[in-house]
Structure 1
Amino acid sequence: MKLLLGLLAAMPLRVSYAAAAVMYLLLYHLFRYRRGTVRDNLSWAFPQKSEAERKQIEKASYRHLCNLFMEILSSTRLPQAEMADRVSFTNPEVLAGVTNNFDKQAIVLLIHQGNWEWILHAAMFKMGISVDPVYKTLHSPLWNQYMLDARSRFGASPMPIDRVGREVIGGRKRKRLIAMLADQAGPKAAGYWRQFLNRPASFYRGADKLAQALDIPVVFAKCRRVETGRYEVLFEEISLPPHPADPQRILELYVLAAEAAIAEQPETYLWTNRRWKKTPPESFFAEQKTATTVTEADSVTREINP
């Protein structure tokens, strides 16, 4: 397997994209890889769109997935400068501003959209600062080590999600950006539950707690594909110290930013992920019922007292 991955990674990008086109035909039409999951996810996320519109997004997302797979493989051998050339940062001054020109840490939240792996290497090259990604250990030891090697290739220090607290606290004086793909499914009991793309979803309580405890600014990085193999990133402030008294507000703002980014370019999001497979705890439904009752009461009050 490692030999095959090495051969695929060694191909020039133009050949990689040709291979990705063949991969799309096999993955989508022949093997029908997770097509049921993708269609279900899209139907929940975009109920206002027609079936034909969702089908168009579905096909385009598989094409992007195959291109992304080849791009991730290529990140193990491409020069850092080439990846940086293919990723433009629209407003790096936002990050520079919240970090005192990169003199202190910031948490950068991303979603599985565009090419998050190239963003890591491009940011380190263009901004001259370490970007340490938080990762969730993969089930396959081979793939887990493969991704760790790729992400640490230019000096980044990936942090496992179950140790991120102590890693960030221990290295709180380091000048670095902490990158979190925060749209991964969080735990059922201890996660932050809210509606995400019209369905209940759990999020890890890491970014919000660390930001509040250590006064770390939080920024969202929105990745948009400009054309095949080229991306642009826009930074948006989520929360700056002093943070809100309720740390969950940080995650709430992140989810709103994520939904807006997905709506803008849905075909570049990772729809094959079984993101909503966990059932919310009863407390979530109780909170939703209470919130609905309060909203209805406010509506009645406005009608009585316009």
Structure 2
Amino acid sequence: MAHRFQYTVISILSAVLQKCGLRCTRKFGKMLGLLLMLQTKRRMITYDNISKAYPGHSDEWKGALVRGAYVNLGITFAEMLYSKALSADDLINQVTFSGLDVVAERARNGLPSILLSGHFGNWEYLAMAAGVCLHKPLTIVVHPQHNAYLDAELNTIRTRFGNIVVPMHKAARTLVRTIQEGGIVAFLADQHASADHDPQIEFFGRPTPTYSAPAALALKFNVPMFLGTAVRHDTGKYSVNVQPVPSADLSDNPESVIELTHRHVAMLESEIRANPHLWSWQHRRWRM
């Protein structure tokens, strides 16, 4: 019953925001983010994550970053509620890419690619816009939401321009088939992984369980891996610089899988350090 109620409230809010326009939606998202800061337990987790990542900074600086991270989260959530009002042209007007031409050329030639991002800026808009720009669907690995109603609604939004979603726990065969058929696979590189089954990769100076599946796929099938993050600008629009993750010197073996995982994690960390307020510090990335 609670899940159904949550879904109903969010559906009504989505309908209202779609009538208000994107600028109004972003203003609402900023206020929503500040409201979410009132949740003490999650705010403390956010502050703790930031404190351990930036131990040399002042409490004032860390507090400002907590606020920025919540504003980003609120805007991203509100934009997703608004997104049903966006056409494909509207979407690519909001998200511009550099470096995506390499992936596009591979797609035109029927060659596979692996795309990585993180919970940074509006990662959902990034995936939708990439599929539109590439004229080819992305097969996106997702963690299902606890609320089945919201999960279905979110996946409807994710797939409205042709992208395909596959739950992480059922992804293996679909990903292999997609790669073999010359498709494009997309992952969020900062998903929480298992300390028992996944390698510990340094992230902001701390050993962090990290999924090795993207690197393992890339090396097993000799597929290039690319990383991009959606940087939000003062206009509200996003720019994404798509960069290749170096792998030419690596082979299909366990040591190389760990090394390639380390490389893409280091690249994501660099992106976060450049715009730390755009990463989702709220989630418990370092829990064991």
Q: How far apart are 1:194 and its partner, in Å?
A: 1.9
CA separation in 1, counterparts of 2:89 and 2:11? 20
Identity of aligned residues (%): 25
Q: Which residue of 2 aligns with 1:109?
A: 116
Matches within 5 A, 1:58-207: 58-96=66-104, 99=106, 101=108, 103-207=110-214
After superposition, the CA RMSD in angstroms is 1.9
Instruction: Assess, with a 3 A threshold, how the Cα gap between structure 1 residues 60 and 181 changes in structure 2: closer, same or farther.
Output: same
Q: For 1:86, give the aligned amino acid.
A: Q
Q: Which runs of 5+ in 1 are unaligned?
A: 279-306
Instruction: Assess, with a 3 A threshold, how the Cα gap between structure 1 residues 201 and 63 changes in structure 2: closer, same or farther.
Output: same
CA separation in 1, counterparts of 2:107 and 2:83? 30
* Partner residue of 1:7 out of 4, 12, 25: 12
CA separation in 1, counterparts of 2:39 and 2:60? 21
Partners of 1:107 and 1:217 within 8 A in 2: yes
Q: Which moved more, 1:128-137 or 1:15-24?
A: 15-24
Q: Which deviations, in whole Å up to 9, do the C-alpha atoms of 1:166-201 show, x marking residues without a partner?
A: 112223343432110021111121111122112221
Q: For 2:200, give the aligned amino acid.
A: W
Q: Which moved more, 1:135-144 or 1:80-89?
A: 135-144
Q: Which deviations, in whole Å up to 9, do the C-alpha atoms of 1:94-125 show, x marking residues without a partner?
A: 3245x264521111111110111111111122
CA separation in 1, counterparts of 2:178 and 2:138? 13
Partners of 1:94 and 1:236 within 8 A in 2: no
CA separation in 2, counterparts of 1:148 and 1:88? 23
Count how many residue pairs are aligned between Structure 1 and Structure 2: 276
Partners of 2:97 and 2:241 within 8 A in 1: yes
Q: Which residue of 2 aligns with 1:26?
A: 35
CA separation in 2, counterparts of 1:117 and 1:24? 17
Q: Which deviations, in whole Å up to 9, do the C-alpha atoms of 1:72-114 show, x marking residues without a partner?
A: 11223321221211001022233245x2645211111111101
CA separation in 1, counterparts of 2:109 and 2:56? 42
1:271 equivalenced with 2:281 (yes/no):
yes
Secondary structure in 1 aligned to 2:96?
strand
Q: How far apart are 1:24 and its partner, in Å?
A: 3.2
Q: How far apart are 1:228 and its partner, in Å?
A: 4.9
Question: TM-score with structure 1 length normalisation?
Answer: 0.84
CA separation in 1, counterparts of 2:243 and 2:177? 27
Q: Which moved more, 1:263-272 or 1:12-21?
A: 12-21
Q: Which runs of 5+ in 2 are unaligned?
A: 1-5
Matches within 5 A, 1:222-233: 222-233=229-240
Q: Which moved more, 1:108-117 or 1:145-154?
A: 145-154
CA separation in 1, counterparts of 2:162 and 2:230? 23
Partners of 1:75 and 1:117 within 8 A in 2: no
Q: Which deviations, in whole Å up to 9, do the C-alpha atoms of 1:242-267 show, x marking residues without a partner?
A: 74342111101011101101100000
Partners of 2:114 and 2:225 within 8 A in 1: yes
1:261 equivalenced with 2:256 (yes/no):
no
Partners of 2:14 and 2:82 within 8 A in 1: yes
Q: How far apart are 1:15 and its partner, in Å?
A: 2.3
Q: Which deviations, in whole Å up to 9, do the C-alpha atoms of 1:218-250 show, x marking residues without a partner?
A: 111132112253111011111456743421111
CA separation in 2, counterparts of 1:256 and 1:120? 21
Q: For 1:196, give the aligned amino acid.
A: F
Partners of 2:34 and 2:70 within 8 A in 1: no
Q: Which residue of 2 aligns with 1:46?
A: 54
Q: Which deviations, in whole Å up to 9, do the C-alpha atoms of 1:108-149 show, x marking residues without a partner?
A: 111110111111111122221111111112222122212211
Instruction: Assess, with a 3 A threshold, how the Cα gap between structure 1 residues 240 and 198 changes in structure 2: closer, same or farther.
Output: closer
CA separation in 1, counterparts of 2:286 and 2:97? 31
Secondary structure in 2 aligned to 1:68?
helix
